[in-house]
Amino acid sequence: MTKLIYSCVGTEEERRLVPGRYTPSPIHSATSSSVSVSSTSALIPDTTSRPDSDKNYYQPEKEKMTQKEKNIILHPLEGLNDEKKLEEVQNRKPSCAALGRQGLAAVTVSICSAVVGFSSAYSSPALASMNQPESRLHITLQEASWIGSLMPLCALLGGVLGGPLIESFGRKMTIFATTLPFTLSFLLISYAVNIPMIMVGRAITGFCVGVSSLALPVYLGETLQPEVRGMFGLFPTTIGNFGILLAFFLGKYLDWSELALFGALLPVPYFIMLFFIPETPSWYISKEKETRAKMALQWFRGSATDITKEYAELIKIRKMDNETVSFKELFSRKYIWPLCISIGLMFFQQLSGINAVIFYTVNIFRDAGSTIDSNICAIIVGCVNLGSTLVATALIDRVGRKVLMYISNTVMALTLFTLGTFFYLKDRGTDLTEFGWIPLVSFVLFVIGFSIGAGPIPWLMMGEILPSRVRGIAASLVTGFNWSCTFIVTKTFIDLTEAIGSDSAFWLFGIICVVGLFFVIFFVPETRGKTLEDIEKEFRPKDLRSEDSQEQTISV
């Protein structure tokens, strides 16, 4: 009979599930909980050769173990419910050094998101400024529509090309490469002497926005530990909302040219900070740069952390994914489900009408006849947007992604229906002077709803649920789809309100939010506290999952 030398006799949970199975000695219980076995028979130790003095070493209650009990030792989390698994995972807290370094990386790449937010919101105060008599350039309604929608249209192109870029040059270097084009695009807008110059500037900005919005979640998804992935993973949205607020606030005091000049300075901070963080370990492994991969992983986890196991898992995943993936294979049974969920989340995010609200905030408040200054309303909306995302950052690892999405879609639907009703009554001659506060309150609540769920979570989950083998090409497709929806909504919003009225437009967006709520309830999984490997396994078809498990070496 094969002898087994225990380095530890199991976790507290194992001892609870298998009472009396073993009694550890104090020396052994303080050591590592992992031990390799070459066969299942090794789980039944030979106690005949034990000295009588070592009575505490191992005291079996029975000579044979059931298969269920063996599985408990082989897979200690297998028999636990989701709450127990989550508790077990959350007990493995990152070190202070790891938190600091991962936080620095999250803040650094998220400053790029501030430029994205500023770029998205720029058109709202800028278009209002261009319509002022003192502006050196004046625009028509259709030109305003194109200035607002060119950015998301070119972001679509950036999102599609961003996939090959992050795979070829790395996640960090791709983000780094957007700094100069961002600056040049805003300079082109600031010194424009005609409308085509502004449109070219917006097109360049849009391309960089598309590349950045793809690279940021992939970078964070590959570098953050599960325990902090929710909180730090929302940093891009949080800081991006700060960029939106900045555009609204400065837009009250600066004209469109001065505002663009300020935008040209925004990429400078993250250009500098990117020199202090490494590329992702996963990308280094994909390029067979194992020394750099180990150094990067050690940097993210802290110098005192043993990265052996995590590094081995990354290598194992990469060996499984070392073959080139065709676009056709992306839609195979193995990958289609997470891809569809990610695309669905992006669809309902954009069809909620959020970018129509952000791009045309000032104009919407003017049309509503609000008694509050439209620029002040826009600033209030920006403040609420930022504050709500901070709340979501604090809650996401406590209540989970799905709960926040439930609240988000419900609040958005109710406020959009309220806005639609307000415009319905106003357009039919009802005196709503005393109720001029309703659009502001509705917008504030709408932004709160969006910011705590439908805004940040689809981007966070894109980096979580897309399988590692197809993450680059799949993220490219999902990002391109997102910006396609953004372009359609922003380009057609003015025409839509003229065709069916503002009331029907907001009602339509509200109905889409209700459908999105049911999509989340029935199709979107909860990823809180799970490693990327665990999430990937859950999406595999059962037959493929069993094949993978047979190929893995058994270890406890």
Q: What is the pLDDT of residues 144-181, one digit of tens each?
A: 888 888 888 898 899 888 888 998 999 999 999 999 99
Which token pair is 333? Answer: 């049974």
For residue 58, what are the CA distances in angstroms to 53, 388, 498?
Answer: 12, 55, 80
Question: 402 near 526, Cβ under 8 Å?
Answer: yes
The DSSP bridge partners found for residue 36 are 555
Which token pair is 118? Answer: 């500023």
Q: What is the pLDDT of residue 546?
A: 53
Question: 334 near 323, Cβ under 8 Å?
Answer: no
Tell me the percentage of the chain whose pLDDT exceeds 90. Answer: 31
Residue with tokens 């590692």: 468
Residue with tokens 């990354």: 314
Which of the pair, 315 or 182, is modelled with greater confidence? 182
Mean pLDDT is lowest, of 31-35, 73-77, 101-105, 283-287, for 31-35
438, amino acid identity: I
Domains of the chain: 12-80 (no CATH), 96-277+323-542 (1.20.1250.20)
Spatial neighbors of 339 by CB under 8 A, at least 6 apart, are 330, 331, 466, 470, 474, 477, 478
Using one digit for the tens of pLDDT, what is the confidence trace for 387-439? 888 888 888 888 889 999 999 999 999 999 998 898 888 888 887 777 777 88
Tell me how far apart the alpha carbons of residues 292 and 127 are, in angstroms, rounded to a whole number. Answer: 47
The interaxial angle of helices 374-399 and 226-233, nearest 10 deg, is 170
Q: Kindly state the greatest CA–CA separation across the chain.
A: 99
Burial class (CB in 10 A: 0-12, 13-18, 19+), 97: middle
- When pLDDT is cut at 50, 70 and 90, the band that residue 75 belongs to is very low
Q: What is the pLDDT of residue 393?
A: 82
Q: How much of the chain is helix, strand and coil, in % rounded to 5?
A: 75, 0, 25
Question: C-alpha angle 32/37/40, rounded to 5°?
Answer: 130
b/e code 282-314 from CB counts within 10 Å (16+ = b): bbbbbeeeeebbbebbbbbbbeebebeebbeeb
Q: Is the pLDDT of residue 208 over 90?
A: yes
Using one digit for the tens of pLDDT, what is the confidence trace for 475-517? 889 988 988 888 888 778 878 888 888 889 889 999 999 999 9
Residue with tokens 């679509």: 156
Mean pLDDT of the chain: 78
Using one digit for the tens of pLDDT, what is the confidence trace for 116-153? 999 988 988 898 888 888 888 888 878 888 888 888 88
- Displacement of CA 516 from its chain's centroid (Å): 18
Q: What is the DSSP letter of 36?
A: B
Helices (H), 278-373: 281-286, 290-301, 308-320, 336-350, 354-359, 361-368
Residue with tokens 């958005």: 412
Count other Cβ atoms within 10 Å, centred on residue 59.
Answer: 12
Which of the pair, 93 or 266, is modelled with greater confidence? 266
Calculate mean pLDDT across residues 242-266.
92
Q: What is the pLDDT of residue 530?
A: 81
Mean pLDDT is lowest, of 66-70, 222-226, 440-444, for 66-70
The winner for highest mean pLDDT among 81-95, 218-232, 348-362 is 218-232
Mean pLDDT is lowest, of 12-16, 342-346, 362-366, 383-387, for 12-16
Q: Is the pLDDT of residue 552 over 90?
A: no
Calculate mean pLDDT across residues 8-31.
40
- When pLDDT is cut at 50, 70 and 90, the band that residue 52 belongs to is very low
Spatial neighbors of 524 by CB under 8 A, at least 6 apart, are 341, 344, 345, 401, 402, 405, 461
Tell me how far apart the alpha carbons of residues 218 and 109 are, in angstroms, rounded to a whole number. Answer: 11
CA-based nearest residue to 243, from 110, 361, 356: 110
Count other Cβ atoms within 10 Å, centred on residue 522.
Answer: 7
pTM for this entry: 0.68
Torsion of CA 280, 286, 292, 293, to 10 degrees: 60
Calculate mean pLDDT across residues 326-331.
76
